[in-house]
Structure 1
Amino acid sequence: MTDTVPSSLQPGADIRPVIDHEGVKLLAERLYGISVLELVELNGYDDKNYKITEDPNVKNPLITTHNPDGYVLKILNSMDSQDVSIVEAQNEIMNFLNARSVTCPRPVRNVYGHLHSVETLGGKKHAVRLLEYIPGEILKNVPLTEPLLYQLGEFVANLDNKLQNFNHSGLVSREHIWMLTKVPELEKFKFVIKDSDKLDLAEEVIEEFKYAVVPRLEELERGVIHGDVNEMNILVATKPGGSQSDYRISGIIDFGDIQYSYYVFELAIAMTYVILLTGNPASGGLVLAGYTVNRRLPDDEYRLLKTLISSRLVQSLVLGAYTSAQDPNNAYVTSTEKANGWEVLRKIRKTIPTDQDPTDWKTIANDYLTRS
């Protein structure tokens, strides 16, 4: 079997790692000297992630500082594993942010002193690494209060401000189908959408991206972004002394989509998943309010938000449907569709401008800041 895979996802490509729980335990022991006591598979789109609790009775001289909350063994898909410079960039960005008081996973060195290794699994090469597990609840599982969504915007702006000082050569030429710049390539995957009304809506958004966004790309501010700020990747915790329902943003995980791209894309992606989670386009205005307090958003970039948010929804719906067709057992990939993504998209696209336009995010943001 060949281990050659395309640099950008193509229809029919199978890139997920093939491994069972016993194989994961053997990897953890061979590469990190960890004797696994408990093993739980976590959500993953095209990677495999496993929460590991080590056996405390097994003394391991290879790890001098043990993480009491356990570890996550990450096995990267075969496409992204082709370029180890991307893996190195992911490790470096986590260390960079940890050093700047942003809570995120920390990579662990293996028995060879490296932060990753490339292993052959099922005939394909996959990058393998171990991260310290970060405790906390994910945003998806807590009440979405206005202050929490506002704080999410603040957090994203603060993250991007810090990342202005981060660079890595491995990200300059990175190509990934989940980048918003790849929306035009959804043409290759739209065949999976069988409903004609949904297909018309998807095609409308793809065409709008081509003529409204693509010609403007050179004018937008660029830098390294996280690239996937969603409800599964944002950690929350209760405030000290607060009630169990009084949450704050506490950290961020999953740096698999880091890229050299556009800061307005980062904001649009964060707003998209909040809107999807609430089912209400107006909730994006609360994220915008927090973001613009910490980071300036030029008017010409603000005017792209509706197209960018629509595009991210279409991207998630089309690629989710495609990946589900390839891997029917992966429930994670259809989360956008299950969250009524098509209906949310229609709400954004078909809104008639009124005094209460739910996509007038700037007015919604200003109203919230006035009330606060």
Structure 2
Amino acid sequence: MAEQHAKPNVSQCAAAELMKKHYNLTPSEMRYLPSYDDQNFYVATVEGGQYVLKITNSEDSKDPTLLELQTYAMAFMHENGLPTQTALRTTTGQVMFLEDMDCGYGFQKYLVRLLTYLPGIPISKVPLSPQLLHKVGQTAARVDNILKEMKHPQLSVLQREGFIWNMSNILHLEKYMHALDGDPLQEVVKLVLHQYKTFVVPKYPSFRKCLIHGDLNDLNLLVQANESNGHRISGIIDFGDMNISYYVHELAITIMYMMLEHPEPLEVGGAILAGWESVFPLNEAEKDCLFWLVLSRFCQSLVLARYSVTLHPENEEYLMISSKKGIQILRRLSEIGKEQVENVWFQTAMQFKEQK
């Protein structure tokens, strides 16, 4: 989470000057794109291209290696056939540059990149059919399979052991539990953390390791209509949470976020699991822990959102957007229980396999 005053606040006029100075491109159209910590502009140019000018907050700009790795990973995945953005090089051949700017609280350094623009709309804007969820699972597994092959001298930087969104750090949530004091939800979270500690942790040696995207949520997957009145995935964006983790973490994260967007959350897991296993079948330990890992990600999201509210009460509405739905789903899943939820997921996944 970026510190206060770390978010850039660059005018369109100043952003257009950056485009001219570093890329020799002239914007014909510019508009702000939403972002929590950074500043993003959609830019169409007189020369004919469409781009996203991304100005990273001053806090994250202090770690250029991490951003360089994310940019490298995007290019690597693009070369391997996935719809990711790539960075345009500056007139001096750099994929990003540090700009010293005053955004209203003194001069600070901000890392700037110009990324290709991907067409499409967030997956949250379209109905999540079983076929589309199957594609989501397939895509998530392909992402990890491709990232597994990536080589880079600085790859170890992506271990990110202290990173709070790393799913290996679920038990770190205990430090933030006070944010739920007085809320009955605290008991549900405590139960999940207990199950994670006693049931999941001993099985970690059997999980397969890899580099994961780490945040395949409803805003980071873009879709476009296809010829058969359905949708295809046209973009995978935002690699800010990328970390060295486990295949099954990526799957749990993806299921959890797609559940938030579906009118019948329980129906989501089976279709995504079937798509995932068409690329990368889970082993027994991974299958056995999937339920608790999905619930653990809900807890991670809810506890950290509540904690953020204690730091930034003025942003409560924004920070708690997905939490209301998430709380209901977490309660429901814990009430239904592991066995019944798994029956639904695994039977649905089996039906998909039989149809193929």
TM tier relative to shorter chain: 0.7 to 0.9
Question: Residues 289-332 of structure 1, C-alpha deviation per residue, up to 9 Å, x if partnerless?
Answer: 11111112101011111111111111112222333442735865
In 2: Cα distance, 1:184 partner to 1:125 partner: 34
Match of 2:341 in 1: 358
Q: Paired residue for 2:172?
A: 185
1:36-88 deviation per Cα after TM superposition (whole angstroms, max 9, x unaligned): 3433332324333222223x1xx6xxxxxx52xx2112222344333222111
CA–CA distance in 2 between the matches of 1:177 and 1:234? 22
The 3 A distance-change label for structure 1 pair 43 and 190 is farther
1:371: Cα distance to partner?
A: 4.4
Give the match's secondary structure for 1:213.
Answer: helix
SS of match in other structure, 2:83:
coil
> In the alignment, which residue of structure 2 is the partner of 1:50?
41
Alpha carbons 1:15, 1:46 under 8 Å: kept: no
Query: Which range moves more in the overlay, 357-366 or 261-270?
Result: 357-366
1:290 is matched with: 275
The answer to whether the Cα contact below 8 Å between 1:167 and 1:224 also exists between their aligned partners in 2 is no
Are the equivalent residues in 2 in contact too, given 1:86–1:171 (CA < 8 A)?
no
Would you say 1:213 and 2:200 are equivalent positions?
yes
Where does residue 122 of structure 2 map in the other structure? 138
Q: Distance in 2 between matches of 1:334 and 1:171?
A: 34
- CA, structure 1 residues 119+185, in 2 after alignment: closer, same or farther (shift >3 Å)? farther
- Structure 2 unaligned blocks of 5 or more: none
Q: What is the one-letter code of the residue matched to 1:51?
A: Y
CA distance in 2, matches of 1:113, 1:308: 43
C-alpha contact (below 8 Å) 1:103/1:250 kept by paired residues: yes
How far apart are 1:26 and its partner, in Å? 4.0
1:229 to 2:216 alignment: yes
Please state if 1:114 is matched with 2:94.
yes
Deviation at 1:108, TM superposition (A): 0.9
Match of 1:6 in 2: none
Q: Note closer, same or farther for the CA distance 1:290–1:173 as it changes in structure 2 (3 Å cut).
A: same
Partner of 2:24: 33
Match of 2:331 in 1: 346
Distance in 1 of aligned mates of 2:133 and 2:112: 34
1:178-327 matches, within 5 Å, as 178-240=165-227, 242-243=228-229, 246-278=230-262, 279-324=264-309, 325-326=311-312
Q: Find 2:69's aligned residue among 63, 83, 89.
A: 89
| Aligned residue in 2 for 1:4 | none
Distance in 2, matches of 1:45 and 1:303, equals 35
Partners of 2:8 and 2:56 within 8 A in 1 = no
Give the TM-score, by structure 2 length. Answer: 0.87
Q: Would you say how many aligned residue pairs link Structure 1 and Structure 2?
A: 345
**Measured at CA, do residues 365 and 261 of structure 1 come closer, stay the same or move farther in structure 2, by a change above 3 Å?**
same
2:65 partner letter: S
Task: Report if aligned partners of 1:281, 1:359 keep a CA contact under 8 Å in 2.
Answer: no
2:295 and 2:208 map into 1 onto residues whose CA distance is 20
**C-alpha separation between the residues in 2 aligned to 1:28 and 1:321?**
38
* Structure 1, unaligned runs of 5 or more: 1-8, 60-65
1:127 aligns with: 111
* Rounded Cα–Cα distance in structure 1 between residues aligned with 2:183 and 2:213: 34
Aligned-pair identity (%) = 31
TM-score by length of structure 1 reads: 0.83
Q: Partner of 2:7 in structure 1?
A: 17
Q: Which amino acid aligns with 1:260?
A: I
**SS across alignment from 2:154:** helix
Shift of 1:157: 1.7
Q: Pick which of 328-337 and 274-283 moved more.
A: 328-337
Deviation of 1:364 (Å): 2.2
Q: Distance in 2 between matches of 1:98 and 1:149?
A: 22
Q: Does 1:74 align with 2:54?
A: yes
Output the CA distance in 2 between the equivalents of 1:112 and 1:292: 44
In terms of mean alpha carbon deviation, does 344-353 or 305-314 score higher? 344-353
Q: 1:115-169 deviations in whole A, cap 9, x for unaligned?
A: 1122345454432211011011221111111111111111112222222211334
